[in-house]
Structure 1
Amino acid sequence: MKIYQLHKKQNLPITMDKAWELLSNPKNLQLITPKYMGFKILSGADRSMYPGQIIQYIVTPVLRIPTKWVTEITHVVDGQYFVDEQRFGPYAMWHHKHFIKEIPGGVEMEDLIDYKIPMGILGQLVHPFLVKPKLEEIFEYRRKKLIELFGEYKNNKL
């Protein structure tokens, strides 16, 4: 069983409160997801994040095939981090930790994702040229979108 990991960090010139407000509202995920993914929240995003929250989405990550994705928010430490885990969806396993911490001039947002591809050896074979590049593309879109929304980090005091 091969488990992959994706690790991303981004610094933004915003306050901790603003960063947490962005991250802890499940509705904002649509804002930072590429439009071609057809991301649509079906249920569970009607309140701020809390442990045990179930959120259902539809995404079309590959070949425009709609896929239902159900995640559970398993851990939340207000203003610091939260964890979402896939309950049903395109991955055999998905465990996504979101951290924020204050740094001079803003915040550092960090994502640490552990995931497993379905379909055994076939999934492992397509990972390097299909799954991994798609995840990199999605997180690069998010990085650019956050810069567009909040500006680029310049290591200056808020």
Structure 2
Amino acid sequence: MKLYTLTSKQHLPVSREEAWNFLSNPAQLENITADNMSLTPLEPLPQAMYEGMIIHYQIRPFLGIKLNWVTEITHIDEGQMFVDEQRFGPFRFWHHEHRLVEKGNGTEMQDIVHYAMPFSLLGCIAHVVFVRSMLENMFKYRKSVMKDIFS
């Protein structure tokens, strides 16, 4: 299994507490995900996350194909970081760490994603052809939205 890593960092001109209050609300994920992903929660989301929380989404990451994605919030260090892991979905493995670090006059938001593709060689080809760029574009979009929200 080939494990890939994607890292994204962004400075937010707000306190860590303010950034945490926004990011720890599960409903905000839909607001910071590009429309072309068609991320749709399949059940009502609570206002605050908790360890062990399972979230069911439907996404359409490419060609309009509907996929179910089930994630679990596995770790929370209140105000500083949380981890979501895929339990069912398009990846063979997905581990996404969200960190908030106080820096100078604001907060650095860090995303570190470790993931693996399904389908061996076919998955590796899909990664090279479109999955990597799709994920990079997802984080570029998120940076743009976060900049608008917090500026």
How many residues in Structure 1 have an aligned counterpart in Structure 2?
151
Aligned residues: CA RMSD: 0.9
What letter corresponds to residue 63 of structure 1 in structure 2?
A: L
After superposition, residues 111-122 of structure 1 pair within 5 angstroms as: 111-122=111-122
After superposition, residues 4-153 of structure 1 pair within 5 angstroms as: 4-43=4-43, 45-151=45-151
CA distance in 1, matches of 2:126, 2:84: 25
Q: TM-score, normalised by structure 1?
A: 0.93
1:43 Cα deviation from its structure 2 partner:
2.5
1:66 Cα deviation from its structure 2 partner:
1.1
CA distance in 2, matches of 1:65, 1:137: 18
What letter corresponds to residue 77 of structure 1 in structure 2?
A: D
1:110/1:57 CA distance change after superposition, 3 Å: same
What letter corresponds to residue 136 of structure 1 in structure 2?
A: E
What letter corresponds to residue 145 of structure 1 in structure 2?
A: V
Alpha-carbon contact 1:101-1:108 (below 8 Å) kept:
yes
Alpha-carbon contact 2:27-2:47 (below 8 Å) kept:
no
Moved beyond 6 Å, runs of 4+: none
Which stretches in structure 1 are left out of the alignment for 5+ residues?
A: 152-158
Q: TM-score, normalised by structure 2?
A: 0.97
CA distance in 1, matches of 2:45, 2:111: 20
Percent identity, aligned pairs only?
44
1:44 Cα deviation from its structure 2 partner:
6.0
CA deviation profile, 1:17-56 (whole Å, cap 9, x unmatched): 1100111011000010001111111126224111100001
Alpha-carbon contact 1:81-1:99 (below 8 Å) kept:
yes
